[in-house]
Structures are given as structure tokens and as C-alpha cells.
């Protein structure tokens, strides 16, 4: 198990060396942290089904955004101008956004995908996904997945709503996003967006799998039920907090109706006619440190 984990990182780092020279030191630091976490929790990243193989399927890059703000601070915020440039670049280069519904239909043999598909995702459920991102998605005729943290929407957003820079989406905001027809609301757990006790929502080293699954089920169900009550729909997409995947989570996610899950491993995906390939889709974080062309030139190339 640990061997597999290490091999993955050796391959991953070799790829990174060629493709992300500028940021290599930061990635190295990040990967080193992941390796340490991997040694602590033996289940992280192990035996998780990957999306297709390198030689088959339709190539799908997935972009991970968080906050769109004119005061970016750190690796998880981009400016409105950068986001607009991203959408302009994708449209100008013939890319079309796809939804989880589109992907699922394709995997079930009930639909086709565009020639150059791309998926846009937003994690954490920031209010600026509504105030800033949605109007631009409308302008460019694109769609996205916004994965909310139930606790942030239930508690944090209500106390200090509608500040572009830091507020989270209220349920009223979530309804507006969903009714736009451009946004699928995903789950980012109800209250497991933390590294305090465990790495995100993954199993801890030595934890009984059944107890873990009961804990996870209870948390995820809470957001599914809140979303159903507030919007009439339960999420079908799930974003693992911090990208920490474990195989024990998969049966629970399937049982609760999730059709697609997202990691944070930075590589592309290959979509095949098998809906299992939608569990653990890899994503590229859109850091503000790249300009649009530099970022997309790197991520839009198949990893062959």
C-alpha cells in the first residue's frame, strides 16, 4: 500500500518536473506533505479507481476554482479579470464546458460529449461564485459545479452574508445558482472540511471501517437532506476536502446517490463508457500565479 503511494508520487513528481518547472519547489513541498500524511493514514490514495486509462476514453481536464475576488491572497483565489480571461481562452480555443449530468449520460451510453470538453468546478461555496462567476458563465454560455460545505451555508453565511471577498453562499443564493440552469450544486461535506481530527473526510489510521462509514454517512446525509429541503434537489457531485480520498468512502458516496467525485491530484482524466470512471476525477487548481495561456497550455494537453 505504501509502496503504491510512493510510486504514484515518483511518477507524479517526474511529470511535474517537466511541466511545472517554475512552481516545482512548491509542488515538491506539497507532495512531501502528502507523502507524510500517506505514511500516517495508510488508506489515503490507495486502490482508488482512476478515471479510465491513458490510452482510451475522452480527455477531460477539470479546473478547480475557489474564490473569485479582486483581492487575491494565496493559491486559491483568482481575480475576476483572470476568470474572464480563462473563459475567453476556452471559448476561443473551441472548449465546451460539461456538467456532471453530461458526463454521466455519456458513461451510460445515453449521450455524447463535445469534441473538446472541459469541466469547471468551485469548492467551498463562496458568495462571489454567484455575484462574480455566474454573470461571466452566462456571458460565455458555460456551466460549472459549485460544491458547498453544509455548515458554512447553514451557519457562517447567515451571520455575515453577501460580502464579495469572504462570505459564503446562503441557501437563498444556492437556490439562485441552481435556478440559473448553469450551476450544479455539489457537496463538500456538511462539517468535515477540516484537517484537525482526520485528513478531510478520509479514514484515520487504525479506524474501524464500519464506524468510519457510519460517521461519513451521517455527515453527508445531513447536507443531502438540507439541500433537498432548501432546493428540492440533493447533490450528485462530491468534492473531497483537500482532495483526501479513501476507498472506504466510495460505497457510502454511491449509496447516497453521488455519481461523480473530485480529487485534487493535478492531472487530466479519461472518460470511458463506464460510470465508475467518474469517481475520483482529478483536477488542476487554478492558481493566480499563472496567466491564462500559461495555465491552460499546461492542462489542456493529454498526459500521453
Closest CB 188 distance from Zn ion, rounded Å: 5
Closest CB 100 distance from Zn ion, rounded Å: 18
Classify the phi-psi angles of 45: left when phi > 0, otherwise alpha if psi is within -120 to 50, otherwise beta: left
Closest CB 201 distance from Zn ion, rounded Å: 11
C-alpha pair distances (Å), 89 with each of 83, 147, 294: 10, 24, 11
**Pattern 139-158, binding to Zn ion, x per CB under 5 A?**
--------------------
**Pattern 253-292, binding to Zn ion, x per CB under 5 A?**
----------------------------------------
Output the residue with the shortest Cβ distance to Zn ion: 123
Among 123, 178, 266, 282, binds Zn ion (CB under 5 A): 123
* Pure H helices in the chain: 2-19, 24-40, 80-92, 100-107, 128, 134-139, 150-151, 157-159, 171-179, 209-231, 249-255, 292-299
Helix (H, G, I), strand (E, B) or coil at 144: strand
Closest CB 53 distance from Zn ion, rounded Å: 29
Residue 52 or 241: the one with the smaller Cβ distance to Zn ion is: 241
Among 86, 102, 124, 154, binds Zn ion (CB under 5 A): 124
Instruction: Give the interface segment with Zn ion, choosing from 42-50, 117-125, 227-235, 289-297 (CB under 5 A).
Output: 117-125
Residue 124 or 173: the one with the smaller Cβ distance to Zn ion is: 124
Q: How far apart are CA 129 and CA 107, in angstroms?
A: 28
Q: How far apart are CA 262 and CA 279, in angstroms?
A: 7
Instruction: Give the interface segment with Zn ion, choosing from 115-123, 125-133, 207-215, 295-303 (CB under 5 A).
Output: 115-123
Closest CA to 211 of 243, 241, 257, 252: 252
C-alpha pair distances (Å), 135 with each of 138, 140, 187: 5, 9, 22
Closest CB 242 distance from Zn ion, rounded Å: 7
Helix (H, G, I), strand (E, B) or coil at 112: coil
Residue 123 or 154: the one with the smaller Cβ distance to Zn ion is: 123
> Binding residues for Zn ion, how many (CB under 5 A)?
2
202 lies in the site for Zn ion, by CB under 5 A: no
C-alpha pair distances (Å), 54 with each of 50, 96, 104, 237, 303: 10, 22, 20, 24, 7
Residue 61 or 186: the one with the smaller Cβ distance to Zn ion is: 186
Q: Which residues bind Zn ion (CB under 5 A)?
A: 123-124
Amino acid at each position: 500500500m505504501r509502496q503504491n503511494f510512493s510510486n504514484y508520487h515518483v511518477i507524479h513528481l517526474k511529470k511535474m518536473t517537466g511541466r511545472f518547472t517554475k512552481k516545482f519547489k512548491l509542488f515538491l513541498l506539497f507532495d512531501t506533505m502528502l507523502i507524510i500524511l500517506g505514511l500516517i493514514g495508510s488508506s489515503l490514495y490507495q486502490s482508488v479507481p482512476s478515471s479510465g486509462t491513458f490510452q482510451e476514453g475522452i480527455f477531460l481536464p477539470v479546473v478547480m476554482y475557489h474564490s473569485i475576488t479582486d483581492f487575491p491572497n494565496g493559491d486559491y483565489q483568482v481575480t475576476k479579470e483572470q476568470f474572464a480571461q480563462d473563459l475567453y481562452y476556452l471559448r476561443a480555443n473551441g472548449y465546451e464546458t460539461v456538467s456532471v449530468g453530461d458526463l454521466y449520460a455519456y458513461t451510460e451510453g445515453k449521450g455524447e460529449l463535445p469534441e473538446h470538453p472541459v469541466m469547471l468546478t468551485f469548492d467551498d461555496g463562496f458568495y462571489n461564485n454567484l455575484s462574480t462567476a455566474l454573470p461571466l458563465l452566462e456571458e460565455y454560455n458555460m456551466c460549472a459545479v459549485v460544491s458547498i460545505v453544509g455548515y458554512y451555508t447553514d451557519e457562517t453565511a447567515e451571520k455575515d452574508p453577501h460580502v464579495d471577498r469572504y462570505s459564503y453562499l446562503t441557501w437563498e443564493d444556492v437556490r439562485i445558482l441552481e435556478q440559473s440552469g448553469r450551476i450544479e450544486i455539489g457537496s463538500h461535506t456538511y462539517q468535515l472540511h477540516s484537517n484537525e481530527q482526520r485528513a478531510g473526510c478520509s479514514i484515520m489510521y487504525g479506524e474501524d471501517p464500519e464506524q468510519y462509514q457510519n460517521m461519513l454517512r451521517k455527515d453527508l446525509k445531513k447536507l443531502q437532506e438540507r439541500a433537498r429541503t432548501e432546493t428540492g434537489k440533493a447533490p450528485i457531485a462530491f468534492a473531497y476536502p483537500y482532495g483526501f480520498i479513501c476507498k472506504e468512502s466510495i460505497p457510502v458516496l454511491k449509496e447516497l446517490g453521488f455519481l461523480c467525485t473530485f480529487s485534487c491530484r493535478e492531472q487530466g482524466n479519461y472518460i470511458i463508457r463506464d460510470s465508475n470512471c467518474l469517481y475520483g476525477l482529478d483536477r488542476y487548481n487554478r492558481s493566480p500565479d499563472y496567466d491564462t495561456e500559461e495555465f491552460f497550455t499546461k492542462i489542456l494537453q493529454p498526459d500521453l
